[in-house]
Amino acid sequence: MTSFATDTILIFRRQLALMLRQPAWVIIGLIQPILYLVFFGPLLTKVASGSLAGFPPGNSYSFFVPGLLIQLGLFGASFVGFAIIADWRAGVIERFRVTPVNRLALLAGRVLRDALILLIQAIILVLAGLAFGLRAPLGGVLIGLAFITLVGVSLAAISYSVGLLLKSEDALAPLLNMVVVPLMLLSGIMLPMTLGPGWLQGIARATPFRYIIDAMREAFHGVYGGAIMIEGAAVAVGMAAVCIWAASRAFVRENA
């Protein structure tokens, strides 16, 4: 177990150094949600104040920013699988798999780096939200960031394992689009899912982000102890557990 911890830190620091060599990517990943914040957020203020059924009361940005955080996670962490394909192609994965390094640490170090980067991006996004008029309690924001970190861990882990199994960018790209776009639409990040017809709400209830985003919105509204929060936390932790378990199988298996 100690080799797992030391090797995880070793890989984490290596991956972080690689990322910091090209810090532009951290900013580029933020562009999409910031654009939504600037060009779409103001529209929502009017819709929300027009007392449209389904919109929660209060500040429209405390509804919208959690959605943008999920979007950031979905589009940031889901695409890390491309990096593992590049690593595999460079022979880096195989080179490490022949050494006594803990194979699970090859995954954990990477995931940890991605979670940290996502957290930093999320903090920047929240600060930008504040500038636009977001008002939320600090405790709620911290809970929101914890959620988004769990989302990042889950998605990065699963993306790495799928990338490592497919070993082809051409296969990974359409697969991600096929999965990420419906997940984003069904999570209700732009508009409340409760606006939709019953069948749409039913489908949305089958996706994890639907629960997570509701819990994050509650947190941003300063409600911490309700059933929605417990549900959301359970789904987030459960999703992370399942993703890490599945990904670790891909990394520690004998043949790769």
Partner 1 sequence: MAIIEARGLARTFVSRRSTVEAVRGVDLEVGDGEIVGFLGPNGAGKTTTLRMLTTLLKPTAGTAIVCGADLRRDPGNVRKRIGYVPQAIGLTAGGSDPNCLVREELKIQAKVYRVPAAEIPARMQRIIDQLELTGLDDRLCKTLSGGQRRRLDIALGLIHSPRLVFLDEPTTGLDPQSRSNLWDHIRALRADLHTTVFLTTHYLEEADALCDRVLVIDNGKIIASGSPEELKRRISGDVVTLSVTGDTAVAQNVLAADQAVREIGVEGRSLRLSVEHGEEALPGLLRALDRAGLSLTSIQLARPTLDDVFLTLTGRSLRDDSATAGQEAQAPAVAISAPASTKTS
Which residues make up the interface to partner 1 (CB under 8 A)? Answer: 7, 10, 14, 17-18, 21-22, 87-92, 94-101, 167, 254-256
Pairwise CA distance, residues 102 & 244, whole Å: 15
Cα dist. 183→65, 153, 192, 204, 211 in Å? Answer: 17, 16, 14, 8, 12
Residues 6+ apart with CB under 8 A from 77: 114, 115, 118, 151, 152, 153, 154, 155, 156, 159
Nearer to partner 1 (CB atom), residue 21 or residue 57: 21
Reading phi first (left if > 0) and then psi (alpha if -120 to 50, else beta), residue 246 is in alpha
Least Å from the CB of residue 76 to partner 1: 19
Least Å from the CB of residue 169 to partner 1: 13
- 5's tokens: 């911890």
Closest CA to 243 of 70, 77, 9: 77
Least Å from the CB of residue 151 to partner 1: 27
Nearer to partner 1 (CB atom), residue 94 or residue 139: 94
Cα dist. 202→53, 172, 185, 212 in Å? Answer: 18, 28, 13, 16
Nearer to partner 1 (CB atom), residue 4 or residue 132: 4
Least Å from the CB of residue 161 to partner 1: 18
Nearer to partner 1 (CB atom), residue 101 or residue 229: 101
Cα dist. 239→80, 98, 236 in Å? Answer: 18, 31, 5
Nearer to partner 1 (CB atom), residue 95 or residue 135: 95
Nearer to partner 1 (CB atom), residue 167 or residue 190: 167
Residues 6+ apart with CB under 8 A from 72: 29, 30, 32, 33, 118, 121, 122, 125, 148
Strands (E), 147-227: none
